[in-house]
Each structure stands twice: as structure tokens, then as C-alpha cells.
Structure 1
């Protein structure tokens, strides 16, 4: 049941954000909020150790700080920054996050 929730929430939220951004050039705050709350609720249910759980939020904080600077300089939109932060929380502090950020910087 938990796996099903994980496989539904993240992909559908990302698809909704992509569609919304494509059609209206906006990403609603609720998409990022849904992703953060879903991770905060679902991750402990999977048996994730608390130290790893914390590192996922550290990854989000680091990405938020960096994307906030990009937003402040006009390089990135606010919705994109919040969505990248929420996605970083799901990815955690590992090499997958670095690859994701690299791809997003090239394609975004």
C-alpha cells in the first residue's frame, strides 16, 4: 500500500507540474507542498532510518538555498525553485541528486 502511494504521488505531481508549467508558465505552490507532505508522511512508514530521513530534508534545504539565489537574480522562477526543492527531498543526499540537478540545469 505504501509503495503504491509512493508510485502514485510523485509521478502524478511531477506530471501535473510539468503540464501546468507548459500551459500557463506557473507551478502552483500546492504541488510542492503535496510532495513535501507526502514524503514526510510516507518515508517513515517505509522503515527509513531517521538519520537518512533527516538527510533528505538537508538536501532540500541546500537546494532551496541555491535555487533561492537563482530566483533572486532572475535566473529561475519561484515555482521551479520550490519544485526542485521538493524533488530534492524525495531524492535525498546522494549522487542521484547531483545528476538530477545537472539535467535540470541543462534542460530547464
Structure 2
């Protein structure tokens, strides 16, 4: 019951980050910190073993290093570069490839959608939550792709496989 609660909270936080990213094109440091730090009680309560917990930590550290590099190259925004390692803490190495694949595919579809929407939907008539995203010259709310990839990869994670979709 409690592991499923943690998995549910993880989903809600990812979805909230996606919505806030569409609305403001930012993912706050506080939200990313909550995603990352809630991993600690989740691991303590689920007690998957030191090998699994260590592998999840290493996956998060590797994702952090890669995200910092991609941020410095201008590929990701700061919030995206912080959300990915927090998500990888939860997903672990077993879910890394499904997560990255789904995130990349969803990110590409998202970018195409934003490009077409900016061309055909004037920002001033868009719903209020999407106006910032539809303004020309703004970035793409990649938190949507990160959240979608995380939800897709959950069944591959030993920590998050408690919820079957």
C-alpha cells in the first residue's frame, strides 16, 4: 500500500511539473528537489536492498552528469536538466533505456506539435495556460516529454513497478 502511494506521488509530481512547464516554461528547483528527495523515504520504506538502492543512486548521478553537459551545450533548460536526474533516481538503471527512448520520441512529437501550433494558433487566442509556450522564440516545455517518459518507464523500475497501468 505505501509503495503504491509513493509511486502515485511520483506520477503526480511528474504531471504537475509537465503542466507547470507548459504554463511557464520553467520547472522550479523546489519541485525538482521534492522529486529527488522523496526517493529517500521511498527506498527506506520499500527496502529493495543496497544493491538496488545503489544502482538507482548511480543512475541518478550518471543522469546528472549527462544533464549538466547537455544544459551547458544549450540542449536542455535548467529545470529539465534537474528533473531528469531526479526521475532517474526513481527509475533506476533497469528503466533507463525505456525512459530515454520514450522521452526522446515524446520530445520530438512535442517539438513538432509546438512548431505547428505556433504557426497556426496565435498566442493571444490560445488557452491561458499555453500562451507562454506558443509565443514565438520561446522554448519547448520538455518537462512534458520527461514526465511522459517517466510514466512509460515505471513498469521497468523495481521501485515503481507497484502500479500496473
Measure, in 1, the Cα distance between the counterparts of 2:8 and 2:98: 23
Per-residue CA shift, 1:31-64, capped at 9, x if unaligned?
Answer: 2211111111121211210121011010001011
Q: Alpha carbon RMSD of aligned pairs, Å?
A: 1.3
Q: Which has the higher contact order (CA 8 A, sep 6+)?
A: 2
User: Structure 2: where are the runs of 5+ without partners?
Assistant: 108-165
User: Structure 1: where are the runs of 5+ without partners?
Assistant: none
Superposed, 1:1-108 pairs within 5 Å as 1-94=1-94, 96-108=95-107
Pairwise CA distance, 1:92: 0.6
Measure, in 2, the Cα distance between the counterparts of 1:52 and 1:3: 15
Per-residue CA shift, 1:9-40, capped at 9, x if unaligned?
Answer: 10110011000100100001112211111111
**Structure showing greater Rg:** 2
Q: Counterpart in 1 of 2:122?
A: none
Measure, in 2, the Cα distance between the counterparts of 1:64 and 1:105: 17
8 Å CA contact retained: 1:64, 1:82: yes
Aligned length: 107
8 Å CA contact retained: 2:3, 2:45: no
TM-score by length of 1: 0.90
Q: Comparing both structures, which one devotes a greater share of its residues to helix?
A: 1
Measure, in 1, the Cα distance between the counterparts of 2:92 and 2:7: 17
8 Å CA contact retained: 1:17, 1:31: yes
